[in-house]
Structure 1
Amino acid sequence: MSDPMNNPRGNPPPPDEPRKGSSPLIWILVLIALIAFAWYFYNRNAGTEPINDLTPPAATSDAMTPAPSSPVEGASKPSREKARAPKKVTRAQPRDRDATLLNQLAPSYPPEAFRAREEGTVVVRAQVDELGNASDVEIVRRSGSRTLDRAAMNEVRTSKFNPAIRNGKTVASSVQVPIEYKLDEQ
C-alpha cells in the first residue's frame, strides 16, 4: 500500500516550522543604505557643474553685422562695438565698521541684586571673532556689586555681535559694552 506521507516524487514532507525569511529590519537597513548612496552621489555631482553667467555673449562674427554702406559708417563701427559690449558689474564693498551688538541687550536683573536693591552700570570688554561670537570677556568698569558684574559678563558672553569689517572682510576686534542695571521706582 501507499503511505499518504510519501510523495510520489520522493521529496521529504514539509516541516511543521514556519519558513524563515529575511527580517524586515534587514530590508529597512538596505533601503537606508541605498538612499545614503544616492544622496552622496547627488551632492557630489551637484557642486561640480559650472554656474552659467546670465550676460549675453558678445557677438564676434561679422556675419551677424551688416556691411557698412559708406566709409563714414564703417569708421564708426568700433565705437558701436564698445557700446554693445556688456558692462562688468562690480559689487560694492561694505564700508569699514566696528563690531556692534546684533540686538539691544535687555539684561535680566539678578534676583540677589534686586533683593539687595543694588544698581549700577558695568562696562564690559569682549573680543568678537569673525563670526560675531564673544570671547575673552572682562570688566573695564565695575558697578560696585559683584552680582551685577557677573551678570553683565554672562550677558555679553552669550550675546551675538555684528563682526567688524576692514577692507571688505570680517575681522576679529574688541568691543566695549555698557550695561546699566537700574531699579524701576514706581
Structure 2
Amino acid sequence: MSDPTNPERRPPRDPDPRPDVRSDDVPPRRGGGASMVLWILLLLAIIATAWYFLGRDDAGTVPEPTPIGETVPEPSQSPVSTAPAPRDTTPERARPAAPIDRDARPLTQTPPEYPATALRSGIEGTVLVLVEVGADGVPTDVSVARRSSSRDLDRAALQAVRGWRFEPAMRDGKAVESSVQVPVDFRLETR
C-alpha cells in the first residue's frame, strides 16, 4: 500500500496533465495584454487632444481698438485676389459722446468750526448729513441722516454743509436736483 503522507511512497505524477499536447507545440506566452492597453490609452489621448484643439474657437481674441471717428474696412468675404480700395476715413459727422450719469459731489468743503463745548469736553464724532442739491449745485435742504454723540457737533456740521458748493448730479447729460449723504468728521487730533 502506498502512504499518501510519505513523499517517497507517492506514485509518480505526470508533469504535464494534458497528455495529448506536447510542450513543443505550445507557443511561448508574452506579456502582450498590458502593452495593448497602453496602445489603446495612447490612441484615446491623441483623439482627445485633437478634439480639444479642433473644437476651440478663436472668439476669445480681442481685436485692436479703433480710434473714435475712424472707420474700419470690413474684410471681404469674396474670393477676390486684390484688396479693395481704402475707404475715406474722415467722419461725415462726429458722434456725440455718451451721456454722463453721476451723483452730486462736493466741490468746496469748508471745514466745520469745532464747537467750544465739545472741544473742552473732548467729544469726537461723525455726523452723516443728508443734502438736497439743486441743479445749480447749491444745497436747498440740509438735515442730519445719522447723529453723532453731541448736538453741538450735529449743529456745527449742518451749518458748515449749508455753505458748501456741489457739482450737481447728471442724468442723460443734464444737471438735475438730487440727494447726497456726506460725512462730517470731528477729530481732536486734527485741531
Q: What TM-score, normalized by structure 1, do the two folds share? A: 0.51
Shift of residue 86 of structure 1?
A: 6.3
- Name the amino acid aligned to 2:107: L
5+ long unaligned stretches in structure 2: 1-84
In structure 2, C-alpha distance between the alignment counterparts of 1:104 and 1:147, rounded to whole Å: 19
- Name the amino acid aligned to 1:147: D
Q: Determine if the alignment matches structure 1 residue 157 to structure 2 residue 162.
A: yes
Choose from 134, 137, 147 the match for 2:139. 134
The residue number in structure 2 matching 1:182 is 187
- Name the amino acid aligned to 1:183: L
- Name the amino acid aligned to 1:132: G
Closer, same or farther in 2 for the Cα pair 1:177/1:165, shift >3 Å? Answer: same
5+ long unaligned stretches in structure 1: 1-78
SS at match of 1:153: helix
State the number of aligned residues: 108
The residue number in structure 2 matching 1:110 is 115
For residues 3-28 of structure 1, the C-alpha deviation after alignment (integer angstroms, 9 at most, x for no partner) is xxxxxxxxxxxxxxxxxxxxxxxxxx
Shift of residue 136 of structure 1?
A: 1.5
On the 8 A contact 2:115/2:156 being kept in 1, the answer is: yes
The residue number in structure 2 matching 1:51 is none
SS at match of 2:114: coil
SS at match of 1:140: strand
In structure 1, C-alpha distance between the alignment counterparts of 2:174 and 2:165, rounded to whole Å: 18
In structure 2, C-alpha distance between the alignment counterparts of 1:139 and 1:112, rounded to whole Å: 20
Shift of residue 135 of structure 1?
A: 1.7
Runs of 4+ aligned residues of structure 1 deviating over 4 Å after TM superposition are 82-86
- Give the aligned CA root-mean-square deviation in angstroms: 2.7
Shift of residue 177 of structure 1?
A: 0.7
Choose from 97, 101, 109 the match for 2:106. 101
Closer, same or farther in 2 for the Cα pair 1:180/1:171, shift >3 Å? Answer: same
Identity rate, percent = 46
Closer, same or farther in 2 for the Cα pair 1:95/1:115, shift >3 Å? Answer: same
Q: What TM-score, normalized by structure 2, do the two folds share? A: 0.49
